[in-house]
Structure 1
Amino acid sequence: MTRHQKRLSVPKSWPVERKTATWTVKAGAGPHGEAGVPLLIVLRDVLGYVDSRKEANYALNENGVLVNGDAPSDVERPIGMFDILSFVERDEHYRVFPDEGGRLSLTPIDADAADSRLGKIARKTQVSGGDVQLTLHDGANIRVDEGTDYATGDSLVIDNESKDIVAHFVYEEGALVTAVAGSHAGEIGEIDTITVTPGSGDNVVTVSQDDGDGFETIENYVVVIDENFTEGDDE
């Protein structure tokens, strides 16, 4: 299997120039599916902290890079929406967040904000033993007690060390959300209305903004956040 990916065919969310060269590195197996950006691209092409795969491997071997509190072993490990990147020696921390063009970008955050990450509940299923399994947007699975009041579309804050749920934000009218895809990616506002579309069509969400005109997008494109999510972006 090839370890390379043509630049012209990478997902729109990847922060790479498509016409500077023919090939780029291919994401390995892991979180975020095809939308995940290889860690090597983040270290080399976005941050400029390494010049080669060899230097990136060295940084990982020295545990100088943490992703969601863990030391990755593979430079092709996919990085995606809401992941937390920490650089121990530099005392630098970033949250992966879509910019207004929909491409993933790195937002500087302080050390306290780097202790946990946000996840949107993509699926909720019953598992053996009576528990419920929550699958997050990045593919991570979390087991909770049956009857716990979590629903698809809600957001959770997961502690990077314990992997416990430390906060729960309900997807409902009045919730603060950010758009993560589409023409309004990166914008933030409050849900005014959720319009349920009959049949197989996407539900539509209308979002209002204090400092903007508001926007309308589909349900899959919004993620519930809280005020600390935006306040933590300033170091």
Structure 2
Amino acid sequence: MLTIPKWSAGAMFLDAWAFPGNINSDYRQAYQHNYVMFQARGPKKHLKRLHAPKAWMLDKLGGVYAPRPSTGPHKLRESLPLVIFLRNRLKYALTNCEVKKIVKQRLVKVDGKVRTDPNYPAGFMDGITIEKTGEFFRLIYDVKGRFTIHRISAEEAKYKLCKVKRVQTGPKGIPFLVTHDGRTIRYPDPVIRVNDTIQLDIATSKIMDSIKFESGNLCMITGGRNLGRVGTVVNRERHPGSFDIVHIKDTLGHNFATRLNNVFIIGKATKPYVSLPRSKGVKLSIAEERDKRLAAKAASG
């Protein structure tokens, strides 16, 4: 067992503590070793591959580590680094070094701004633009809870949807709201409330339209076991002091429920403001997937 010298500062400090008589010397030595040798010094800079979010779809045997997202507008487990997007998804690079060369040429934009950090955390509803190839993408979850490559038109890339997380009044009585991607917008429409969704013009950062959080509107789930599913809000159960529950119904008539924090309104009635992935956010059961697969096989054969 590793021990520390009795003359060290850590040992002298711990000797001043009153250890109970029933703790044997091995435990005391282990405690002294941990106290002196393992002390955090700043933020973590590494991410083990097995601990990376499942939405990234990284293989287990591709290495020990995964790219750790830089600090940014989205949480680590709710974001996708640009290096994963360009290298693993689009296959535009073979290595991290090649991704660095791409982003350092200022070829990649996220929400209209050039990003030169290969570990920049792009998140849900962010628009990624590669002008040199004329491609536009929006980060959206599929029904299995994974970030999907969703190509959009140049017209749709001019705006994005943001969920309102907070509405407050600042100094000098200036009202403002805060969105899910860390934006602060001053002087919003007074009818906008928490959990509503705003349609934001990326070039001007002005609010183009707003969608109320109410029954009958279209929503996408951004967390929990129903991640990526799309449906219509049926009703909201209020639980003061706990989590409000929202009941949702998809286009196939399947009903499911999730927490209020996981619901992101994306359209009025049945009309979405953004284009949806191929599955349209409808999750099939195992039996339904089997029947669909057999029907396709029978039709082709």
TM-score > 0.5 by shorter chain: yes
Q: Distance in 2 between matches of 1:43 and 1:2?
A: 24
> Does the alignment pair 1:37 with 2:88?
no
Q: Distance in 2 between matches of 1:101 and 1:196?
A: 28
Structure 2: any 5+ residue segments left out of the alignment?
Answer: 1-42, 279-301
Contact preservation (8 Å) 1:122, 1:153? yes
Match of 2:209 among 147, 167, 171: 167
Contact preservation (8 Å) 1:113, 1:232? no
Contact preservation (8 Å) 2:139, 2:148? yes
Q: After TM superposition, where is structure 1 displaced by more than 6 Å over at least 4 residues in a row?
A: none
Contact preservation (8 Å) 2:248, 2:257? yes
The aligned counterpart of 1:224 is 265
Structure 1: any 5+ residue segments left out of the alignment?
Answer: none
User: Aligned-pair distance for 1:96?
Assistant: 0.4
Contact preservation (8 Å) 2:152, 2:275? no
Query: TM-score scaled to structure 2, two decimals?
Result: 0.72
Larger C-alpha radius of gyration, 1 or 2? 2
Secondary structure of the structure 2 residue equivalent to 1:37:
strand
The aligned counterpart of 2:295 is none
The farther-off stretch of 127-136 and 12-21 is: 12-21
User: Aligned-pair distance for 1:141?
Assistant: 1.7
> Does the alignment pair 1:209 with 2:253?
no
The farther-off stretch of 28-37 and 79-88 is: 28-37
Contact preservation (8 Å) 2:108, 2:116? no
Q: Distance in 2 between matches of 1:192 and 1:38?
A: 35
User: Aligned-pair distance for 1:116?
Assistant: 0.9
Match of 2:145 among 89, 102, 115: 102
The farther-off stretch of 6-15 and 182-191 is: 6-15
Structure 1 pair 17/136, CA: closer, same or farther in 2 (3 Å)? farther
Q: Distance in 1 between matches of 2:111 and 2:69?
A: 18
Contact preservation (8 Å) 2:143, 2:226? yes
Secondary structure of the structure 2 residue equivalent to 1:8:
helix
**Superposed CA RMSD:** 1.9
User: Aligned-pair distance for 1:23?
Assistant: 0.5
Percent identity, aligned pairs only, is: 26
The aligned counterpart of 1:81 is 124
Q: Distance in 2 between matches of 1:76 and 1:48?
A: 16
Query: TM-score scaled to structure 1, two decimals?
Result: 0.90
Q: Distance in 2 between matches of 1:131 and 1:17?
A: 49
Q: Distance in 2 between matches of 1:102 and 1:50?
A: 25
Structure 1 pair 138/100, CA: closer, same or farther in 2 (3 Å)? same
Match of 1:121 among 154, 158, 164: 164
> Does the alignment pair 1:56 with 2:105?
no
Structure 1 pair 231/138, CA: closer, same or farther in 2 (3 Å)? closer
Structure 1 pair 43/203, CA: closer, same or farther in 2 (3 Å)? same
User: Aligned-pair distance for 1:31?
Assistant: 1.1
Q: Deviations over 1:184-224 (max 9, x none)?
A: 2221111110110122x211111122323122111111100
